[in-house]
Amino acid sequence: MLSALTNSFKIPDLKRRLIVTLALITVYRIGCYVPTPGIDGAALAEFFNRIAKTQGGALFGIINMFSGGAMERLTIFALGIMPYISSSIILQLLTAVVPALEKLAKEGKAGYEKINQFTRYGTVLLSVIQSYFIALWLENPARFEGLRIVMQTGWGFRILTVLTLTTGTIFIMWLGEQIQERGIGNGISLVITAGIISRIPSAFHQLFVLISPFAPSRRQIQPFTLVIMAAFLVGVVFAVIMITQGQRKIPVQYARRVVGRKIYGGQSTYIPLKVDTSGVIAIIFAQSIILFPATMASFIPNPAFQRFAQSLMRGHLLYTSLYTLLIIFFCYFYTAIVFNPVDLSENMKKYGGFIPGIRPGVTTAEYLDFIMTRITLAGAVFIAVIAIFPDFIMAWLKVPYLVASFFGGTGVLIIVGVMLDTVKQIESHLLMHHYEGFIKAGRIKGRK
């Protein structure tokens, strides 16, 4: 590992990409501390400390996680990259149901660039809408239990907030695209990962307070419990890596074809069907739905509605059961959107490919759907277990949710998936460099 890291900085192109990536992520983290004009940061922090202890703090916690802590400080990056993610998911879902977008997606690079442009427009639209409602929410002192968040209300503050937060989101989107083009790894995913990793020092601080090494009388976590937590952390990370990398390989044989003087086909390959096709998207959808009533209960003073929202808080059986079912449902829903066995079987048949023992065409599509349905069940159950595992850790070991969140949930899935993808890209650069270096050393100079 250390030798590979050292070799990464010996390759000029890879070294430049790594430095560009780190520099752009640093710019993003600095922007997470630049405050939005007209906001009393101390009063806002006090409000978030209060709401974090109620049922309404759950959804705010998710938004804060994706924004790297910028939401609770309401900085220029308060919206984070969530509008871009939402726009991407909406466009991806529309591509599967709108024929014009589906046709555009099959046009290759030109179609991809057009859909990406639509995604940018959608990001701007969502950012404007969200930032406007955030401005209205901040102006209402009744929502903040007597705290005065906005120094001077009015249309001037609303327009300034909309421009500031929307520009911040567009700038983050631009940073992600620059990392994608000039850096290493997936830019948007690295921005999200940097925001999640930035919460680790706060989690360690809370854990250190609970351990209290210098005051055993106030110790809430015993050393043996800490060892158990470390073992669970290693086990969860290992399991997430295995499921993220897990795939079912369907063998495919291509018939030999003679076109003119050339022979095509005759080789064997395979179709990799991922066990976890949806990734973190299923958890994001499920969290957004199940936490919405709890968040609205903070703003709707209705006793019946608040009692219903109370039953959907973490730790309740209804919350755990409904959350698990929603994750499994969205795993199947997203897989059905992105995986089309009919198109895959038709493309195989078009190029002379077939699965040994399976008739081409409709039978192949039914076989692929049969396999995908069953491996998706395994992936969906695992994702559901990982999603509720932090709640189990929090209830069993009596640790804050910020500490327990690193034992599963959205954060761990994103960190592990992005790190694996980035390491793969670095390895490909290293292998390419070694290959080129070997050929260059053995090259025979021709006569002048």
Provide the pLDDT for residue 263. Answer: 63
Low-confidence ranges of the chain (pLDDT < 50): 55-57, 435-448
Beta-carbon contacts of residue 123 (< 8 Å; ≥ 6 apart): 83, 84, 87, 169, 170, 173
Q: Which helix (H) or strand (E) holds 268?
A: strand 268-274
Under 8 Å between Cβ of 84 and 123: yes
pLDDT tens, residue by residue, 76-113? 888 888 888 888 888 887 887 888 888 887 777 788 88
Q: How many CB atoms lie within 10 A of CB 422?
A: 19
Q: Which helix (H) or strand (E) holds 14?
A: helix 12-31
Is the backbone of residue 251 left (phi > 0), alpha (psi -120 to 50) or beta? beta
Provide the pLDDT for residue 438. Answer: 33
Task: Look at the block and give the residue holding tokens 């924004």.
Answer: 67
Q: Which helix (H) or strand (E) holds 370?
A: helix 362-397
Provide the pLDDT for residue 55. Answer: 45
Provide the pLDDT for residue 196. Answer: 82
| Helix, strand, or coil (residue 159) | helix
Q: How many residues does the chain have?
A: 448
Superfamily of domain 1-198: SecY subunit domain (1.10.3370.10)
| Helix, strand, or coil (residue 176) | helix
For 112, the token pair is 């991809």
pLDDT tens, residue by residue, 273-308? 888 888 777 887 787 777 667 666 655 666 776 677
**In angstroms, rounded to a whole number, what is the distance separating the alpha carbons of residues 320 and 328?**
12
Provide the pLDDT for residue 264. Answer: 60
Provide the pLDDT for residue 142. Answer: 60
**In angstroms, rounded to a whole number, what is the distance separating the alpha carbons of residues 250 and 345?**
12
Provide the pLDDT for residue 47. Answer: 72
Provide the pLDDT for residue 441. Answer: 43
For 412, the token pair is 């761990």
Superfamily of domain 222-407: SecY subunit domain (1.10.3370.10)
**In angstroms, rounded to a whole number, what is the distance separating the alpha carbons of residues 397 and 391?**
10
Cα 148 from chain centroid (whole Å): 34
**In angstroms, rounded to a whole number, what is the distance separating the alpha carbons of residues 228 and 236?**
12
Under 8 Å between Cβ of 292 and 309: no
Under 8 Å between Cβ of 54 and 306: no
DSSP string, 290-352: HHHHHHHTTT---HHHHHHHHTTSTT-HHHHHHHHHHHHHHHHHHHHHH--HHHHHHHHHHTT
**In angstroms, rounded to a whole number, what is the distance separating the alpha carbons of residues 416 and 189?**
11
* Residues 26-49 as b or e (16 or more Cβ within 10 Å = b): eebbebbeebbebbbeeebeebbe
Question: In the chain, where does the domain assigned CATH 1.10.3370.10 lie?
Answer: 1-198, 222-407
Tell me the CA distances in angstroms from 141 to 10, 44, 136, 146, one per residue in order. 57, 11, 10, 6
Give the full edge-to-edge strand order of the sheet including 247-254.
268-274, 247-254, 353-354
